[in-house]
Amino acid sequence: MDIVNADCAGIDVGSKSHFVAAGQALEDVKEFGVYAEDLVQICQWLQSFGITAVAMESTGNYWQNLYVELERHDFEVTLVNGKFTKHALSLVCALTNRKKAGSSHFF
């Protein structure tokens, strides 16, 4: 997949955890919790990569607290409709699935 904006990350928003992709490599994907301190950690982790913009799917209500925290940390946040971004977000999902499958071997 071609990189359109190297300073942009993708987030797979969930009810129990958020998977954040700061790049296209497996090691650039990390799972975070959903509590306030986890959301701050997401922002700090993204800043360590030089990320300035984030795209995330607006799933249920789970995205709202994360959106507020990202805005507080001066990220440009774009909510996307999964119906229209299926192929763009497929990389995050594929990396997320690889990460989940491999986690049982490493933890």
Q: Among the listed ranges 5-19, 24-38, 86-100, which one has the minimum average pLDDT value?
A: 86-100
Average pLDDT over residues 8-18: 91
50 has a pLDDT exceeding 60: yes
Q: Given strand 8-12, what is the order of strands in its sheet?
A: 29-32, 18-21, 8-12, 53-57, 76-80
Q: Which of 88, 98, 100 is nearest to 10 (CA)?
A: 88
Kindly report whether the global pTM for this prediction surpasses the value 0.95.
no
6 has a pLDDT exceeding 90: no
Q: For residues 88 and 48, which has the higher predicted lDDT (pLDDT)?
A: 48
What is the separation of C-alpha 55 from the centre of its chain, rounded to a whole number of angstroms?
8
Average pLDDT over residues 36-44: 98
81 has a pLDDT exceeding 60: yes
Residue written as tokens 């997320």? 96
Distance CA 84, CA 55 (A): 13
86 has a pLDDT exceeding 70: no
CATH number attached to the domain at 8-106: 3.30.420
For a pLDDT cut of 90, what percent of the chain falls above it? 49
